[in-house]
Amino acid sequence: MEKKLSEMNYEEEGRVGSIEQDLKNKVAGMGIRVGKNLKMITKHPLSGPIVVEVDGAHTSLALSIADRITVEVKK
C-alpha cells in the first residue's frame, strides 16, 4: 500500500516510492532516495519533525518535507 511518509505509523517499514522533483537533491544527501528502505522511528507532536531510519542511521525530516515523499508500505 502506498502512503505519504508523513502518514507512516511507528515501527512501520516501507520503500521510498516517489519524491517530488525539486526535493530529490535536497534529501539525497541524507540518504533518502527512491527505492530506499525506511522505518518510522518517531513523530514529534505539534506538526514537528519525523525521524526515520535509513541504512541503520536515523535522520529527521520536517513534516512538510515528509508530506511530499511517498512510501510503499510493507504489510
Binding-site ranges for another protein (CB under 8 A): 25-26, 28-31, 55-57, 59
Q: How far is the CB of 39 from another protein (least distance, A)?
A: 15
What's the distance, Cα to Cα, between the start and end of the chain in Å? 8
Nearer to another protein, 3 or 36 (CB): 36
Nearer to another protein, 7 or 30 (CB): 30
Q: How far is the CB of 13 from another protein (least distance, A)?
A: 18
- DSSP per-residue string spanning 63-75: HHHHTTEEEEE--
Instruction: Say how far apart CA 36 and CA 18 lie, in whole Å.
Output: 10
Instruction: Say how far apart CA 20 and CA 4 lie, in whole Å.
Output: 12
Nearer to another protein, 2 or 62 (CB): 62
Element (H, E) at 75: none
Q: How far is the CB of 30 from another protein (least distance, A)?
A: 5
